[in-house]
């Protein structure tokens, strides 16, 4: 199809792709990654010169837009990087390395390497708190796979041999997920405190580990999963200003349903040490979803902005 996004010039042509990435990483013009200089920078010309090569005449060093980003040390052409980013940003449940390898025509090893770097670009840095006055943040946890090396079944049952994921979802907004060490209050509270504004009303299930939330936030309402489902929809409370809201954890449960379908259907072999990267990926797509006015191309542009300052070193 002539209008297919996949035929777009930035996805087909390396020079166009580099220019597109430069415009997002350097909105004000090139910045030297070695000395931070912006004044005396020249573009290297000539037939034998690499595309997108600059020289900083303050520190006399050369650079491209890849230096100091997750793309550094990669020989994959920029338009192939953008194809991979577009695919990962536009597939609701993610895209496996196998699929990426076939679609892009790169080796499985390269596809794996690329997808983990893209997840790193999607990772949120800095913790601007979620929620705020008149806002609801839903908090829940879920169990994912088995901890490596743990026995299949423990006599006591429970969560000791499972990976635990904690997720905070701003109703009508962003999601943040964390791979955490245990189910105790000490495992939950530091993360919740660091990520949710005090003025927020938090909604959770009746889990004991959420008991202290009422002391720390504007309000804490719980959903009783064991009670009649109907009660959850009629349980409407009001903020002091009069705005009404439903007590529920449906939003965070909806997030988990996408996450679990993706992890089960697409990423069948997620190692425990990489779980946080997949969480970044699902959080990123959720926090920049269509319902919030972000389309696939814009989401890709946001991921490109996230490549900066996040070099990853594998082996
Ligand atoms: Zn410089």
Q: DSSP characters for 84-123?
A: HHHHHHH-TT---HHHHHHHHT--HHHHHHHHHHHHHHHS
What is the reported pLDDT for 196? 96
Residue 154, pLDDT > 60, answer no
Residues of 55-80 as b/e, b for ≥16 C-beta within 10 angstroms?
bbeeeeebbbbbbbbbbbebebebbb
Residue 160, pLDDT > 70, answer no
| Per-residue pLDDT tens digits for 170-185 | 999 999 999 998 888 8
Structural domains counted in the chain: 1
**Ligand 1 geometric centre to CA of 43 (Å):** 13
Does 106 fall in a domain?
Answer: no
Does 173 fall in a domain?
Answer: yes
**Ligand 1 geometric centre to CA of 309 (Å):** 16
**Ligand 1 geometric centre to CA of 39 (Å):** 9
| Residue of higher predicted confidence among 310 and 67 | 67
What is the three-class DSSP state of 34? coil
Which residue in 49, 133, 71, 58 sits closest to 309, CA to CA?
Answer: 71
| Per-residue pLDDT tens digits for 222-235 | 987 765 555 455 57
| Residue of higher predicted confidence among 194 and 6 | 194
Does 157 fall in a domain?
Answer: yes
Domain that holds residue 196: 136-268
pLDDT band per the 50, 70, 90 thresholds, residue 135: very high
Which residue in 78, 38, 69, 68 sits closest to 56, CA to CA?
Answer: 38
Residue 313, pLDDT > 60, answer no
CATH label of the domain that carries residue 148:
3.30.420
**Ligand 1 geometric centre to CA of 15 (Å):** 23
Does 224 fall in a domain?
Answer: yes
What is the reported pLDDT for 232? 53
Share of the chain above pLDDT 70, in %: 90
What's the token pair of residue 102? 């076939």
| Per-residue pLDDT tens digits for 108-131 | 999 999 999 999 999 988 778 999
Average pLDDT across the chain, whole number: 88
- Whole-model pTM over 0.75: yes
**Rounded-to-integer distance, Cα 269 and Cα 226, Å:** 33
| Residue of higher predicted confidence among 50 and 158 | 50
Average pLDDT of the residues in 127-151:
86
Residue 151, pLDDT > 80, answer no
Residue 147, pLDDT > 90, answer no
Residue 236, pLDDT > 80, answer no
pLDDT band per the 50, 70, 90 thresholds, residue 315: very low
**Ligand 1 geometric centre to CA of 20 (Å):** 22
**Ligand 1 geometric centre to CA of 31 (Å):** 8
| Per-residue pLDDT tens digits for 252-309 | 999 999 999 999 888 876 778 899 999 999 999 999 999 999 999 999 999 999 998 7
Q: DSSP characters for 195-237?
A: HB-TT-EEEEES-GGGTTHHHHSSEEEEE-TTS-HHHHHH-EE
Does 261 fall in a domain?
Answer: yes
What is the reported pLDDT for 182? 82
Does 63 fall in a domain?
Answer: no
What is the reported pLDDT for 1? 43
Does 9 fall in a domain?
Answer: no
| Residue of higher predicted confidence among 127 and 190 | 190
Does 226 fall in a domain?
Answer: yes
The answer to which of 64-73, 185-194, 227-236 has the lowest mean pLDDT is 227-236
**Ligand 1 geometric centre to CA of 64 (Å):** 12
Q: Report the residue count for the chain.
A: 315
Residue 216, pLDDT > 90, answer yes
**Ligand 1 geometric centre to CA of 247 (Å):** 54
Token pair 């415009």 is found at 23
Q: DSSP characters for 131-144?
A: --TT-EEEEEEEEE
């Amino acid at each position: 199809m002539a209008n297919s996004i996949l035929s777009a010039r930035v996805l087909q042509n390396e020079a166009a792709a580099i220019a597109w990435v430069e415009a997002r990483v350097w909105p004000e013009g090139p910045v030297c990654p070695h000395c931070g200089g912006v004044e005396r920078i020249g573009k290297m010309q000539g037939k034998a010169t690499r595309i997108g090569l600059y020289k900083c005449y303050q520190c006399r060093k050369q650079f491209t837009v890849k230096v100091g980003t997750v793309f550094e040390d990669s020989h994959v052409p920029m338009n192939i990087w953008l194809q991979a980013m577009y695919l990962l940003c536009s597939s609701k449940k993610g895209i496996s390395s196998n699929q990426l390898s076939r679609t892009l025509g790169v080796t499985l090893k390269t596809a794996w390497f690329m997808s983990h770097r893209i997840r790193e670009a999607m990772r949120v840095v800095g913790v601007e708190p979620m929620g705020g006055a008149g806002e609801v943040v839903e908090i829940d946890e879920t169990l994912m796979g088995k901890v490596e090396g743990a026995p299949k079944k423990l006599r006591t049952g429970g969560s000791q041999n499972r990976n635990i994921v904690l997720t905070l979802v701003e109703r009508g907004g962003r999601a943040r997920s964390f791979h955490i060490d245990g189910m105790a209050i000490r495992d939950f509270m530091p993360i919740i405190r660091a990520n949710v504004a005090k003025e927020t009303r938090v909604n959770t299930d009746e889990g004991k580990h959420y008991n202290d939330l009422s002391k720390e936030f504007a309000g804490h309402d719980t959903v009783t999963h064991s009670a009649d489902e109907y009660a959850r929809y009629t349980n409407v409370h009001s903020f002091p200003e009069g705005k009404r809201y439903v007590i529920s954890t449906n939003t965070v449960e909806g997030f988990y349903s996408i996450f679990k379908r993706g992890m089960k259907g697409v990423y069948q072999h997620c190692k425990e040490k990489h779980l946080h990267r997949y969480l970044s990926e699902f959080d990123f797509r959720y926090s920049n979803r269509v319902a919030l006015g972000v389309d696939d191309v814009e989401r890709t542009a946001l991921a490109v902005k996230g490549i900066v300052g996040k070099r990853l070193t594998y082996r």
